[in-house]
């Protein structure tokens, strides 16, 4: 009888804890998205086969596609401070990749090839002609592979702080499936995701990793990334996919055969950027590069005017 009572008590406590955690998760999501900072009156929707893709179209001139980084909090607002310097020369498309920002976030495993298909389909459907591309961080590997598969869709490519080859080539480890299973769990996985995507952690990312000068970080940037990380059906799905290395791909052979012009723009204090540039140049001697002084991972946000001058020089 005592054993039975203990079992019932344990079940009730577990049920209560689960219900309490679920309420906490719901509260975090509601408060994170309450400000509607990412609402864009001129936003457009590309109805892709795996979900609706949010994007914007601004300016006039040759098409220029901006693709944000693959950090789980990333989104198209990464380019907001840069666009005003370029919209008179280019028709600028900014896209929230599937699983990011205001695009749909279905509960699936996100891979490099999934994004390669998305970008190629988007260029064919929404742009309809060869386009120049600027890709940030880890998304540079997506564009490298997309261009290798369909070089006729792209003209010139610019990578801002791309990943080095060893990082690109990582594969899911032997515990990746187990870890992803935990993160995909509806209650505990969501709680773990909310801890990782807390406003405090995002602010720390901006001040320590994204920006060279932490005093240049505006609270609005943090709020927008915080909101982006909590929008949609299953925002944690892309987080678990990125964390478990499913979005990685060995790009060295594809980079070798690309004939499109490639320019790498690095933040002066981005860890290992000069070694990464050297890797890319040895793989493809046609790669050109420059470094923006006093910047880190997101020079397009921290020093947009300087970045715009390199963009105009390269794409013209």
The model's pLDDT over 108-150, given as tens digits with 9 standing for 90+, comes to 999 999 999 999 999 999 999 999 999 999 999 999 999 999 9
CA distance 29 to 163: 31
Which candidate, 85, 87, 111, places its Cα nearest to that of 98? 111
Neighbours of 202 (CB within 10 A): 23
Q: How far apart are CA 310 and CA 289, in angstroms?
A: 10
**Model pTM score:** 0.91
What is the predicted pLDDT for the residue at 23? Answer: 61
Q: Which helix (DSSP H) or strand (DSSP E) does residue 167 occupy?
A: helix 165-168
- Return the bridge partners of 126, or none: none
Place of tokens 């261009």: 147
Residue 18, pLDDT score:
45
Phi/psi zone of residue 179: left (φ > 0), alpha (ψ -120 to 50 degrees), beta? alpha
Write the pLDDT tens digit of every residue in 9-31: 333 333 444 455 656 667 678 77
Distance CA 235, CA 25 (A): 12
For helices 2-33 and 188-196, give the axis angle rounded to 10 degrees. Answer: 40
Residues in the chain predicted with pLDDT less than 70, given as ranges, are 1-25, 27
- In this predicted structure, what is the pLDDT of residue 109? 93
Q: What is the dihedral of CA 245, 157, 106, 127, to 10 degrees?
A: -170
Residue 288: left if φ>0, alpha if ψ -120 to 50, beta else—which one? beta
pLDDT for res 36: 87
pLDDT of residue 25: 65
CA nearest 134: which of 173, 98, 97, 160?
A: 160
């Amino acid at each position: 009888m005592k054993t039975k009572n203990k079992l019932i008590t344990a079940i009730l406590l577990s049920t209560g804890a689960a219900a309490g955690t679920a309420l906490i998760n719901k509260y975090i999501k509601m408060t994170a998205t309450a400000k509607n900072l990412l609402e864009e009156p001129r936003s457009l929707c590309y109805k892709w086969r795996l979900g609706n893709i949010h994007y914007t179209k601004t300016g006039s001139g040759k098409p220029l596609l901006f693709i944000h980084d693959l950090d789980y909090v990333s989104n198209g607002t990464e380019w907001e401070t840069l666009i005003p310097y370029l919209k008179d020369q280019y028709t600028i498309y900014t896209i929230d990749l599937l699983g990011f920002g205001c695009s749909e976030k279905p509960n699936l495993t996100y891979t490099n090839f999934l994004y390669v298909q998305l970008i190629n389909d988007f260029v064919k459907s929404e742009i309809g002609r060869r386009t120049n591309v600027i890709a940030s961080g880890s998304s540079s590997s997506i564009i490298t592979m997309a261009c290798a598969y369909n070089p006729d869709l792209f003209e010139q490519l610019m990578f801002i702080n791309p990943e080095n080859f060893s990082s690109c080539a990582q594969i899911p480890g032997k515990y990746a499936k187990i870890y992803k299973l935990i993160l995909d769990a509806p209650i505990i996985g969501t709680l773990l995701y909310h801890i990782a995507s807390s406003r405090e952690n995002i602010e720390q990312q901006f001040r320590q990793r994204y920006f060279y000068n932490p005093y240049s970080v505006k609270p609005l940037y943090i709020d927008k990334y915080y909101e982006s990380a909590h929008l949609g059906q299953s925002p944690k799905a892309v987080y678990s996919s990125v964390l478990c290395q499913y979005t990685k791909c060995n790009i060295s052979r594809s980079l070798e055969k690309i004939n499109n012009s490639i320019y790498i723009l690095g933040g002066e204090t981005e860890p290992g950027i000069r070694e990464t540039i050297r890797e890319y140049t040895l793989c493809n001697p046609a790669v050109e590069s420059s470094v923006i002084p006093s910047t880190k991972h997101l020079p397009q946000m921290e020093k947009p005017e300087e970045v715009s001058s390199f963009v105009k020089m390269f794409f013209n």
